[in-house]
Amino acid sequence: MSLINLVLYGLAVYRISWMVTKEQGFLDGFYVFRHWLATKAVNGNRLMITIAEMFHCPYCLSVWLSCIIIFVPLEIVFILAIMGVASIVIRFTDGGKAEWL
């Protein structure tokens, strides 16, 4: 794997993990999913609690996404990497004040 691919995959994992754990998502999809996991974790076993915690932590989720994303075609990884760069630029240019981040 080249250094460029490593950076692309890293940015793609960053974007997916941040989007799933911190953003509302289209039609509040990510928020609803995280809320559903949290309600299942309250009444669930230790596995459900761990899964719910993972979907609230971008660092935790990125570990597992790194194992999965290597099977994703490079074209899709490239698009996700562009989204990751855009997300980083927005976070730094507005001081992290964007409500949807």
The 3-state secondary structure of 13-57, one letter per residue: HHHHHHHHHHCCCHHHHHHHHHHHHHHHHHHCCHHHHHHHHHCCC
Residue 26 has pLDDT above 80, yes or no: yes
Query: Is residue 10 in some structural domain?
Result: yes
What confidence tens digit (pLDDT) does each residue in 67-78 have? 998 898 888 898
Q: What is the mean pLDDT of residues 35-47?
A: 82
Q: Which residue has the higher pLDDT, 94 or 23?
A: 23
Single pTM value for the model: 0.77
Q: Identify the pLDDT of residue 101.
A: 46
Q: State how many domains the chain has.
A: 1
Q: Which domain holds residue 57?
A: 3-93
Query: Is residue 100 in some structural domain?
Result: no
Query: Is residue 65 in some structural domain?
Result: yes
Query: Is residue 8 in some structural domain?
Result: yes
Query: Is residue 98 in some structural domain?
Result: no
User: Are 9 and 69 spatial neighbours (Cβ–Cβ below 8 Å)?
Assistant: yes
